[in-house]
Amino acid sequence: MATVAGITVNGDHWIGGERVSSPTTFDDHSPIDGALIAQIARGTATEADAAVTAAANAFPAWAATPRAERARLLHAIADGVEARLNDLAIVETTDNGALLRSHLRGVMPRVAHNFRFFADWLLKLGHEDFDTRGHTNHV
């Protein structure tokens, strides 16, 4: 666990609904001032295999989840991003050195937007392919 501007950050993996550590870690330094932000779990083949297995095990239940429920869950994630927008922006700025205003005004709102975008399209399954800003989307 680390603290970035008063915000607790966990550097372990998230696999199968729980935190998983690794036998080794790496130091994450801020490009802003070189300060140590956190020790991050360095994944090995064991953690990669566990993550793939967890995803494969979770897929049948997710695939069986009705579209409306999936959309509701994706909107809930977007709500969570918006509720923690300032904290997320501060941590990301510290971690990658980008301007805080960029994360506050663009990056983090876009994260929430992306979850909402795909949640809303879940409810329109069967729609023909469509273009968005030069990219073809398949639903």
Cα separation of 67 and 69, whole Å? 5
pLDDT confidence of 36, banded at 50, 70, 90?
very high
- pLDDT in the model for residue 9: 92
- pLDDT in the model for residue 51: 98
Tell me: do 88 and 116 sit in the same domain. Answer: yes
Domain with 24 in it: 1-64
Burial class (CB in 10 A: 0-12, 13-18, 19+), 89: buried
Interhelix angle 108-122/67-83, nearest 10 degrees: 170
Q: Give pLDDT tens digits for 37-73.
A: 999 999 999 999 999 999 999 999 999 999 999 999 9
Chosen domain end from 12, 36, 64: 64
Tell me: do 4 and 30 sit in the same domain. Answer: yes
- pLDDT in the model for residue 127: 63
- pLDDT in the model for residue 89: 97
Q: Give pLDDT tens digits for 75-129.
A: 999 999 999 999 999 999 999 999 999 999 999 999 999 999 999 988 887 767 7
pLDDT at 139 over 70: no
More confident residue, 1 or 116: 116
Tokens of 102: 């960029």
Q: Is 133 helix (H, G, I), strand (E, B) or coil?
A: coil
pLDDT at 132 over 90: no
Q: How many domains does the chain have?
A: 2
Tell me: do 82 and 105 sit in the same domain. Answer: yes
Give the phi and the psi of residue 110 in degrees, each rounded to 5: -70, -35
CA angle in degrees (0–180, nearest 5) for 88-63-85: 10
Tell me: do 103 and 125 sit in the same domain. Answer: yes
Question: Residue 46 to residues 12, 39, 55, 65: CA-CA distances in angstroms?
Answer: 14, 19, 14, 29
Chosen domain end from 64, 88, 108: 64
Count of CB atoms situated within 10 Å of the CB of 27? 10
For the entire predicted model, the pTM comes to: 0.82
Burial code of 105-131, b = ≥16 C-beta within 10 A, e = fewer?
A: eebbbebbeebbebbebbeeeeeeeee
